[in-house]
Each structure stands twice: as structure tokens, then as C-alpha cells.
Amino acid sequence: MATKLVYVLNGPNLNRLGKREPEIYGSQTLDDIAAMLVARGQALGCGIEMRQSNHEGHLVDWLHEAQDEGAHAVLLNAGAYTHTSVALLDAIRAITVPVIEVHLSNPHTREDFRHRSWVGMAAKGTVAGFGANSYLMALEAAAGL
């Protein structure tokens, strides 16, 4: 079986997972999540390209790169940019690779400003509220596309 390349892009403050508000985001680090994804990806025939940046433009560039590299799908946890970035909305609309929005917490149970998702307006689907398992659920969905 050919390996399906899945980009996993993470936005601002996700490098602080495990330290930042563990009551909301859990105690697992981004490295822990990456290890889970690589292991599950192998079973699903997916190669994982895991990245994180606190800079919006990097996420835009990586979405374009996913298209150019022939990625099968993108899992995107844009962090706070979810609720503010028209640039990410436009970048997702500018590519044909399916993007699955991922959140550790459920934004709809949090502050009102988190209820609007610019990313979600262009994403194929959203997985939210299941902690680190949100990533695994999104990878399962991506593998099935």
C-alpha cells in the first residue's frame, strides 16, 4: 500500500501543550501527540509531517506546500488563529487538499469569541473536544478520504 502523506499543522501556543492550562488542553505534549500520530499513521498507511509555528504566515506557507507536495490531507489545529485568520481561510480555499480542523477542547463550550471558526468555513470537517484523541480521530477520517 502506498503511503498517504498527511500534514499535521499546529498554530500558536501549541508548543506549550502539557504546561499551558492542562485543565483545558490536557497534560500531553505536542511531541506525545506526534508519537501517537506516527504510530497510528503507520497502521493506516499514512506518513505524518508534523509542524508547529506561532506565526500565521508559516501556516499559510505550509498549506500551500501540502498542495505542492501532493499531500493526501492536512490536519490543522490553528489555535487562536482559528477565530481570527481570514488568511488561513483563503489559504485553505486556495488548495484542493482536504483540510480537517482539529481542536483539543470544544470551542463551542468556551468563550463566545471562540464560537466562530474561519478555518471551519473552508475545512472538510472538524474534530473537537476529545483532547489528544481529536488528532487520532481526524487522522482516521483523513485516511478514509
Phi then psi for residue 106, to 5 deg, are: -100, 105
* 141 vs 127: CA distance, rounded Å: 9
Residue-range domains of the chain with CATH: 4-143 (3.40.50.9100)
- Report the pLDDT value the prediction gives residue 42, as an integer from 0 to 100: 96
pTM exceeds 0.75:
yes
Cell triple for 136 = 487520532
Average of per-residue pLDDT values in the chain = 92
- Strand 125-128 vs strand 73-77: parallel, antiparallel, or unpaired? unpaired
- Report the pLDDT value the prediction gives residue 19, as an integer from 0 to 100: 82
* 91 vs 122: CA distance, rounded Å: 9
Provide the annotated active-site residues.
Answer: 25, 103
Amino acid at 121: M
Q: What is the pLDDT of residues 30-51, one digit of tens each?
A: 999 999 999 999 999 999 999 9
